[in-house]
Amino acid sequence: MSGELLTSRKGYGFLSESPALAQALPDSITFIGPSTETLRLSSDKMLSRDLATSLGVAIAAGVGVRTTDDVRAFARAQGFPVMIKALDGGGGRGIRIVEIDNDVEEAFNRYAVWESLCRVKFSLRKPSQARIGNTLRFRLSGTVQEPLPIFGKESAVYSGGELRTCSFSGMKLIASSRFQKIVETAPSRLPRSIISSLVDSSMKLARHLNYRGLGTFEYLVNSQTLDWVFLEINPRVQVEHTVTEEVTGIDLVRTQLLLFDASSTSPGSLSLTRPPPPPQGYAIQLRLTAEDSSCSFRLSPGTLKPADIVWPSGPGIRIDTWLSTRPISEDSSPQWNVGTEFDSLLAKVIARGHTFEEASQKARRALKELRILSLTTNRDILAGVLDHQDWLTGNIDTLWLERNIDDVRLLGKSLAARTVRGSGKIASRDDAPAGNFPASSTTLLQPGALFHLTVSSSEDTSASPTKHSLSLISISHNGFPDKLSGVLQSSLSPIPLAFSLSQSTSAAISSSIFELANPNDALHIASPLTGKVVELHAALLAAKGNGGGAGRFVRRGETIVILSIMKMESTIKAPRDAFVKRLGNGIQVGAVLGEGTLICVMGDRPQPQSSRL
């Protein structure tokens, strides 16, 4: 190839969509992607919608808004529910569905502003009377997302062969909708007539843009009426590209590079043909994430080592992951930290089969073999989806998971229980809640074991250490270090004490500047998860600055702290009308808190002292 090649994570991510980056590069560097003008149009959701309209491609009703009055005006004209989406948001994190007028204010301020400061896109999802006209209305529970890969080289544009179905979104993270896809399949099981229409529309858009490079054109399809609208263009390789590769036999990353190689002058050299050959079999991609589905899909940060992971294998199974086994340095063993700043994706598990049923069977088998011993993952949800009858019948839409989450979780836990009982392997943290049976552990702990505990101050080195003896009388559950319970005799108490030790699924406090909240004290406000502080209530700031009493009062239900987890915001609200007595050590904007960190101590409003004569 001539010159130097530059990609952004092989074409992943928002940097690869930036017209400014492509324009700023010197001639000696070849930008792997569309032209700056194509990027300007395709990476801007509103401009893409305008382009589609000009070419006669149907779009959902939408308008750019700047205030909540604009939101309400749109809703009055089109009806509820509506969806607020940050114009520059990504991955569904800026999405908020509003069902009633009273929810507009909070949704607009808390879920759209995070990315683009009130520049949002509105798209209508009307729950009835689907019709095509200037407005195409969809039922919220009846849409599937259909991405179509497109290749472009100079003046020639080629279809990537088949649509992918991305119909799993609406995942809940604390109180906010993440709308993150977790399962993708290829090829689509829509009727061929609909697929042809979407391909034709994509080719029309791509040819008008003189599209060069690899990109994805996305649509929403009403699963009841099969009406469809254009959604957006992603001028880059997407996370779900693996299923396209599996059913077409095309290496998308390689092809993307060859599209910009001067020696690759023909479609044959790129393994591209027109029309594309029919897909070979079916592929399913499962996104394995570090999330706890039993706690509203909160992030499960922590540290992983190679010994903590067992990957599935065998014909038709592929694993794409950033968890490399290469040591960080020559004198250190590899380990990986899952923090709060980035996406929780650990790996993509891809299964391929001759039929959809075979691919699903291999995907279920892969999840049974998968082991992650140090983090809580969404494996139970993935397993539950694959075990659900709706999965095999194709009765899936965009909000299916939200409606069926309890059944899916139950099916997933049942699979985990069968896996542990039948395998004879060590139970992972993912398996611990499943079934009513004792977990096993590689740590040998037996009744009668005696431990010596020495406690001393880390600050006052002159103080004498305190020594205690602990003896295990009985053990009812040995899943150490995940869980250990039983009865112990100690010098701490004259009578035996029943105990239960459970390791948190969240990150521990990593600095001595923080305090742990007392879980038995209702006046202690603790962080329920790991996250970065992005906003503090004025009352907490006043307490930090020793402000006056009047400024340190909060009312029940007021948001006192906002935490950011993977750029998603989670709110902590005041449980009662109270006075903020003091702030926890180290609490400030920008601090990363672990689960259980003391945020503040509440109390009654102090009474003014009466003056004496």
Under DSSP, the state recorded for 156 is E
d(CA 599, CA 597): 6
> In Å, what is the CA distance from 245 to each residue of 112, 161, 179, 186?
34, 10, 24, 9
Mode of pairing for the β-strands spanning 95-98 and 531-536: unpaired
Under a CB-based contact definition with an 8 Å cutoff, are residues 229 and 335 in contact? no
Q: Which of 170, 148, 166, 150 is nearest to 158 (CA)?
A: 150
Q: Please provide residue 387's backbone torsions phi and psi, each rounded to the nearest 5 degrees.
A: -90, -10
Angle (CA) 445 335 433, round 5°: 45
C-alpha torsion angle, residues 85, 94, 166, 278 (rounded to 10): 70
**Burial of 512 by CB count in 10 Å (0-12 exposed, 13-18 middle, 19+ buried)?**
exposed
d(CA 149, CA 160): 5
Angle between helix axes 379-387 and 356-369 (nearest 10 degrees) is 150
Among the options 139, 212, 236, 379, which is catalytic? 236
Q: Is omega for the bond preceding 481 within 30 degrees of 0, making it cis?
A: yes
The one-letter amino acid at 220: L
Under a CB-based contact definition with an 8 Å cutoff, are residues 235 and 17 in contact? yes
Cβ neighbours, 10 Å, residue 262:
9
> What is the residue-wise DSSP string for 434-487?
SSSSPPP-SS---TT-EEEEEE--SS-TTSPPEEEEEEEEEEEEEETTTEEEEE
Q: Which of 215, 95, 195, 100 is nearest to 144 (CA)?
A: 195
Q: Which of 131, 122, 138 is nearest to 82 (CA)?
A: 122
SS (H, E, C) 301-369: CEEECHHHEECCCCCCEEEEECCCCCCCCCCCCCCEEECCCCCCEEEEEEEEECCHHHHHHHHHHHHHH
The one-letter amino acid at 311: W
Take residue 221 and report the two structure tokens written for it: 């399809």
Take residue 603 and report the two structure tokens written for it: 């109390």
The question of whether 236 is a catalytic residue gets the answer yes
Take residue 120 and report the two structure tokens written for it: 């949002």
Under a CB-based contact definition with an 8 Å cutoff, are residues 17 and 43 in contact? yes
> Taking phi first (over 0 means left), then psi (-120 to 50 degrees means alpha), and beta for anything else, what does residue 9 get?
left
d(CA 218, CA 142): 16
Q: Looking at the annotation, which residues are catalytic?
A: 236
